[in-house]
């Protein structure tokens, strides 16, 4: 649970009283490799913080899934729009390895916002961070070549090359695995 506090403290230093409220709401879950953390079509009930493992966020398709993101240790994972709107998610989130998370329900998060001094500011900064990451990804898909997206991805997230199958990386940058293979040959 200390991982969660350290991460939150980078946003806003929590008082012991606020941490007591926040930590009392957290529940620990373990998810097996390959299992769904969230199935597409279900309402996201949790905001989760990964303390071990990694996950892939994608839109399931009949022929080729569309990968929209990867989440690693010490990061939050959620189908955030579904979580906020209480509507079915178009995204699926799968554990790429065994995953251990601390989770909050929507109701628990609302209680934290009401009962703590820093809960709202942490929520705002976290939401802003998610928004900026989403905006950056959208802009890269519209303005950069697949090769530029690939190079930027590994400049910013070098752990991807070790942990993520190339077919998911290809999907994430918007190309086929064969096109990614050609890109990798060109740049090495």
**Using CA atoms, how far apart are residues 154 and 161, in angstroms rounded to an integer?**
7
**Using CA atoms, how far apart are residues 55 and 61, in angstroms rounded to an integer?**
18
| DSSP codes joined into one string, 125-146 | HHHHHHHHHHHHHHHHHHHS-H
The per-residue pLDDT for 131 is: 87
The per-residue pLDDT for 95 is: 96
The per-residue pLDDT for 157 is: 82
The per-residue pLDDT for 2 is: 83
**Using CA atoms, how far apart are residues 93 and 67, in angstroms rounded to an integer?**
10
The per-residue pLDDT for 147 is: 92
**Using CA atoms, how far apart are residues 102 and 50, in angstroms rounded to an integer?**
7
pLDDT digit of tens for each residue in the chain (188 aa)? Answer: 888 888 888 888 888 898 999 899 999 999 999 999 999 999 999 999 999 999 999 999 878 899 999 999 989 999 999 999 999 999 999 999 999 999 999 999 999 999 988 888 888 888 888 888 889 989 999 999 999 999 998 888 887 777 788 899 999 998 998 999 999 898 87
pTM recorded for the entire structure? 0.87
Among candidate residues 180, 185, 169, 181, the one with its CA nearest the CA of residue 68: 169
Among candidate residues 21, 27, 36, 135, the one with its CA nearest the CA of residue 92: 36
CATH number for 2-118 (one of 1.10.8.100, 3.40.980.10, 2.60.120.10, 2.60.40.10): it is: 2.60.120.10
**Using CA atoms, how far apart are residues 57 and 78, in angstroms rounded to an integer?**
9
Task: Give the domain ranges of the chain.
Answer: 2-118
Please report the beta strands in the chain, taking only residues with DSSP state E, as ranges in sequence order: 27-31, 36-38, 46-52, 55-59, 66-71, 75-77, 92-95, 99-105
The per-residue pLDDT for 142 is: 93
79 burial level (CB within 10 Å; 0-12, 13-18, 19+) = buried
Q: What share of the chain is helix, strand, coil (3-state, %, to 5)?
A: 50, 20, 25
């Amino acid at each position: 649970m200390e991982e969660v506090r350290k991460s939150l403290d980078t946003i806003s230093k929590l008082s012991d009283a606020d941490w007591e409220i926040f930590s009392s709401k957290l529940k620990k879950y373990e998810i097996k490799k390959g299992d769904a953390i969230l199935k597409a079509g279900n309402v996201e009930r949790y905001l989760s913080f990964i303390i071990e493992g990694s996950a892939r966020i994608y839109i399931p398709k009949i022929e080729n899934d569309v990968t929209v993101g990867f989440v690693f240790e010490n990061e939050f994972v959620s189908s955030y729009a579904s979580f906020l709107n209480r509507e079915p998610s178009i995204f699926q989130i799968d554990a790429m390895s065994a995953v251990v998370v601390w989770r909050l329900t929507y109701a628990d998060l609302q209680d934290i916002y009401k009962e703590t001094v820093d809960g709202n500011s942490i929520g705002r900064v976290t939401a802003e961070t998610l928004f900026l990451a989403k905006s950056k990804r959208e802009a890269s898909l519209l303005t950069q070549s697949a090769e530029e997206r690939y190079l930027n991805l590994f400049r910013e997230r070098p752990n991807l090359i070790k942990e993520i199958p190339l077919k998911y990386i290809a999907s994430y940058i918007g190309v086929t695995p064969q096109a990614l293979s050609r890109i990798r040959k060109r740049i090495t």
